[in-house]
Structure formats: structure tokens, C-alpha cells
Structure 1
Amino acid sequence: MTSSASATSTTSSTSFTPQVVLMGTNNFTQPPQSLIAINSTQIPVKLSKSGNYAAWRSQFENLLFGYGLMGYLDGTKPCPPATIPNLSTTSDNPQSQGTAANPDHHIWLRQDRLLLHAIQVTCTGAAQSIVTRSSTSAQAWEKLESSYANRSNTRKLGLLDSLTNVSIAEKSVSEYMQGIKEILDNLELIGHSVDDGAAVIHVLNGLSPNYLPLASAIRARNSPILFEELYDKFLDYESFLKREDIKKGGQQITAQYNQRTSDRRGRGYQGHSPHMGHTQQFGHYNSNNHQQNIGSASSGGRGFSNQGNSYRSGNQFSHTQQWRPPATNN
């Protein structure tokens, strides 16, 4: 009875075919020793540079920990041996009859290659070239950590210097705060965490004068402010500044329009003033020319001729005003 049960167990273990389960589907129940293929869409942040390594690693670790696969990367689940002793099942006292292939070894290799593939497809640029020649997921994981999570003192000083010299310049609030967050994550990754108080000071020191009112209000607070809360406040203040710029732009356009309208009206008035000026200049009382002017005006208003002032045609004044002789005592 015992030998028959052991034979059945041996046959089932050698003929077991692992099932590949694509995570992210509706397959919530997994059979024992099932293979898990990670979908790349489950890791939205792609590793492209050292700046986003902390974010990429965090989401990758959380995903693998949830699936129970983190042991492949940290070495807590080593590869099983390729062969196992082949025990004899023909007698009541099983004896070793050489070795046989270990099915767990093949399953482990297949699962590890699926993890290596997940690491490769979530890396781009220089990060992808680092893991291209890796043969196991643990090897690729170690290469990325040594490349982007260097714990040397030089890297720590470089990150601290970058944090001290941050500046918003022409960046948006989102770009500015995201850059600072990446520096803080990299510092924490190498074991040098920065508390919220110091992080807030670095953020305020890199702001432009436009954000001075908000920065002064934050410095005057009696209670400390968290980095995430500071992020939200600066986003709201950025929206306020944009609305103010739109209002100022509309007021400036209105002022320019009013100025141009005023200039046109002034030029239009000056366009009629030469006729008035000439009338006043050449229409002064002259006893010798006065009789000629009266005679010319009485002859149909076609014009008048003055020896001192050559007005050849009175029609050029017909559109402005009718000529009248100057009032005199005579």
C-alpha cells in the first residue's frame, strides 16, 4: 500500500506541467507551482535614468512582493538542484538508484526568465543596455543597483549639492517639485534621508520672486508643513499667478486700444487745423486786398486772388467752411 502511494506521488511529480498565469487578468486562483508572467503595463514608470530609479524600484518591489516572487531577486529563493536522487520504489526500503531530473529546477528557471524579461522591458536607454547581458533576474537586479544606487560618499555629496542649488527658473511647479522629489528619493535610497523640514527649506530657497508672498507665509507658520502639502499649495498659487497674468494682459490690450483711438482722434483734428490756420493767417485785414476779396466772393465764390497770398481756387475750402469777409469798422 505504501509503495503504491509513493509510486503514484513520483509519477504525478514528474509529469506535472506548470501553468503560466498572466497577472492582471481575472485568474485570481493559482495552482501550485504556477508560472507568473508580469505584464509591463503593471509598471507604468520605466527606468530610463538614475533620477527615476527609486520610483521604478519601489513599484517593482511592491509588485513582486505581492506575487511572492521577491525571493528570486534577493536570493531568499535559490535555484533548486538540477537533479535529485532517484529512489527505488520496488521494495519496502527505497534505495537510491542514481539521479533523476528535478522538475522544480526547470520550473524555477522558467519563472526566473519571466522576471528577467519583466525587468528588461521596463528599462529603456542606458538602463536597458545594463541588463541586456544578464542571465538571471537577480544578476540584472544587482547590476541596476550597483549602477544607480551607488552608496559612495561622492554620490551623496553630489546629490546634496544638487539639492542645495535647485532653482525653479523657467520650470513649472510640477517639474520643479518632481526634480526635488527625485533627489530626495535617491538620497534615501543610499541611506541618507532628508526630513521634511530641511526639504521645505530647499524648496523655498529655489523659488523665484513671484512666489515670495507664499514663501513668506510658509516661513511664518507655527506648525511644520509636509512636503506633499507644500506641493499642493504651490500648484494652487501657480494657478493664481496664471489667472493674474491673463487679467493683466487683457487690461494692457484695452489700454493700448484706447491710446490708439485717442491718437487717431488727435490726428483727425489736426488735419482740419491747417485750413483754419491759413484762414487766420492770410485772412487778416488788408484795405487794399479787401475790396478784391469781396468782389471775388460776390462773383460766385469761385476764388479770390491776393498778390501777397496766392489762393487760386476757393473750391479747396468748400468742403470745410464758406468764406466770410473779416468784420471791420468800414
Structure 2
Amino acid sequence: MVAITGSSSYNPIITINTTTTINEKLTPATFPQWRAQFEALLIGYDLIDFVTSKHQCLAIDGTKSATSKAVNFYWIRQDKLILHAILVSISTTITSFLTSCKTSHEAWAALTCLYKGKYRTRTMQLKEDLTLSTRSSRSVIEFLQAMKIIAYELAIIDHPISDDDLILYILNGLGPEFRDIAAPIRAKETSLKFEEIHDLLVGHENYIRRMENQLASNLITTVNYSHWKGGISSNDRSFSNMGHRHNKQAIHPKATPSSIQMNLQQIVQPPHKEKIKNGLLTLLHRTR
């Protein structure tokens, strides 16, 4: 909460309650997030010039006029309130570094000097994370969210990456399943926004899953139909028995597409992989 506690002939005095406006105290690990919140707050209330030293304290003129006194008094009061807000929003382990600071600008500069040197190491780490990140077993949505979080943190510490670079990192980490859609995206002459690439990749993932389920459904229907007709040759029966030795529930009339995918993965293992594949091709050929 921010309250106007008083006023002078110059400007009202603004008090900042950081417990309700800053959601976490400053620690050595949270400076970028803390600074982003505090800057936004100061800009919103037109107080940022105090910490950047653009708005400096004006000395009382030689005549000690009421106006110059009011301006000077206003600046001191407002700056001390900003300094207080900074001090109460940081952890006690950091407060000791600011005990000698007399103005909000001194405190702000001290914190920036203390932590900005660590930006380079953090920036390199985050960029390495972007380079090495892969989708692996995650869904596309989870992968994209993780990449966006890294890009957001880079922006906070003044090292933003362009949409083109972010999309390149994403395409590199998707894996071979997305090769068909990655190629045309790379070839586009115009840049895509993150939101656009998000919709394209999620849609492509849904298409891949539908095709996998359809293939599994067609396969189980074909195999079960061949069993029911009794048209399996001796070679086909040896193939079927071999599958049952690996998994007794491999092919069942009540199996689902997802279960047939899992069972086929269990069955189709070396050294019988080629023989089973040939048996499947024979069954599929007979139903045509």
C-alpha cells in the first residue's frame, strides 16, 4: 500500500508499504526480481528520479525563503521514506552493507554494485540452459513454459533475447518428432512471435498423438480380426506365440490403442524384432 501522509507547497509525501507491494525480500539470489518490482513501483509513483539521482536535493537559498525551505524539506522527507522502503524490503544479511547510506540513491547504487557483477555469470548460465534444453519426455506446453521462464529471467537482468533467438533455441530442443514442422518455420522470411510458435507446436503435438492413437487402433483391429478368422499360418502362429511368451496380454480383443502401443513396445525387442515385424506385415497384407 502507498499512502500520502502529508503535503507541502511542493508535492505530497508518499509512503511506501513494501510488505504489501513487494512480494519477496531481497536476498543474494533474488536481486533481479526484487529490482524489477521496486523499479516498477517507483516509476508508477514518479519517484524513480530519487534513486537514479536525477532529482537531487536543492539547497536552501541565501534568503532562506519559505519556498526553498519547503522544497528542501520535501526532498529530504521523501528520500528518507524511499530509503526506509529499501531497507525494510531486504534481508538482514544485506542490511549491514547499507548502514552508511544516507540517501536512497546511495543505497540503490550500493545494491547495484554489489550484485551486478554477478549478472555475467548468471547470464552465461541461463544462455547455456537455453542451448542445452530439450523437450525430452515433457509435453510441448511444459517445454515452452520452461524456455519462456529462462528468457524472462534474462530480460530481468538486462540481457533480453529476441523472439528469433528464442524460437531457434526451442526448435533445436524439440527433437526429431517435430522435424516436419521445424523446417518450414526456420524457412519463414518473417519472424514469428512466441505466442504464434506456441500454438503451432501444440497443434502439431496433438496431431502426432492422434496419428499414433489411430495407428494403434488400426493395428489392434487388424490383428484381432486375423485371429478371429483363423487365417494365421504356422509362421504367423509362431509369431503370435512368441509375443505371448513376452507378454501374455499382448493382443487382446478388449485392448485399447494406448495399451497396444505399450504391449508392442514390450514385445518388439531384439533378437525377434525383424521376425515380428515381418509377421505384422503379413497380417496386414492378408486383410487387403
With normalisation by structure 1, the TM-score equals 0.46
Mapped pair 1:60 → 2:38 = yes
Greater Rg by CA: 1
Q: Which residue number corresponds to residue 267 of structure 2?
A: none
Contact kept, 8 Å, 1:21 with 1:36, in 2: the verdict is: yes
Deviations 1:275-299, CA, capped at 9 Å, x for gaps? xxxxxxxxxxxxxxxxxxxxxxxxx
CA distance in 2, matches of 1:242, 1:112: 59
CA distance in 2, matches of 1:197, 1:184: 15
Q: Which residue number corresponds to residue 22 of structure 1?
A: 3
Match of 2:94 among 108, 124, 130: 130
Unaligned residue ranges in structure 2 (runs of 5+): 218-223, 225-248, 256-288
CA distance in 2, matches of 1:236, 1:122: 44
Q: Which residue number corresponds to residue 155 of structure 2?
A: 185
Unaligned residue ranges in structure 1 (runs of 5+): 1-19, 24-28, 89-100, 263-330
Contact kept, 8 Å, 2:31 with 2:115, in 1: the verdict is: no
CA distance in 1, matches of 2:44, 2:145: 31
User: How many Å apart are 1:232 and its aligned residue?
Assistant: 4.9
CA distance in 2, matches of 1:117, 1:140: 10
User: How many Å apart are 1:71 and its aligned residue?
Assistant: 1.5
User: Equivalences for 1:28-177 in 2 at 5 Å?
Assistant: 32-40=10-18, 41-43=20-22, 53=32, 56-81=34-59, 85=62, 102-120=69-87, 123=90, 129-131=93-95, 133-134=97-98, 135=101, 136-150=103-117, 157-169=124-136, 172-173=142-143, 175-177=145-147
CA distance in 1, matches of 2:254, 2:185: 46
Determine what percentage of the aligned residue pairs are the same residue: 30
Three-state SS of the structure 2 residue aligned to 1:223 is coil
Q: Which residue number corresponds to residue 193 of structure 2?
A: 226
CA distance in 2, matches of 1:200, 1:51: 27
How many residue pairs get aligned? The number is 216
Change (3 A) 1:106 1:32: closer
With normalisation by structure 2, the TM-score equals 0.52
One-letter code aligned to 2:78: Q
CA distance in 1, matches of 2:155, 2:133: 15
CA distance in 2, matches of 1:217, 1:175: 22
User: How many Å apart are 1:34 and its aligned residue?
Assistant: 1.2
Contact kept, 8 Å, 1:80 with 1:104, in 2: the verdict is: yes
Q: Which residue number corresponds to residue 164 of structure 2?
A: 197
Three-state SS of the structure 2 residue aligned to 1:206 is helix
Q: Which residue number corresponds to residue 271 of structure 2?
A: none
Name the structure with the higher helix share.
2
User: How many Å apart are 1:73 and its aligned residue?
Assistant: 0.5
Contact kept, 8 Å, 2:10 with 2:70, in 1: the verdict is: no
User: How many Å apart are 1:108 and its aligned residue?
Assistant: 2.7
Change (3 A) 1:168 1:140: farther
One-letter code aligned to 2:42: L
User: How many Å apart are 1:35 and its aligned residue?
Assistant: 1.0
CA distance in 2, matches of 1:21, 1:207: 46
CA distance in 2, matches of 1:21, 1:184: 29
User: How many Å apart are 1:119 and its aligned residue?
Assistant: 3.4
Higher relative contact order (Cα pairs below 8 Å, separated by 6+ residues) = 2
Change (3 A) 1:131 1:154: same
Q: Which residue number corresponds to residue 265 of structure 2?
A: none
Contact kept, 8 Å, 1:167 with 1:176, in 2: the verdict is: no
User: How many Å apart are 1:75 and its aligned residue?
Assistant: 0.8
CA distance in 2, matches of 1:219, 1:118: 48
One-letter code aligned to 2:155: D
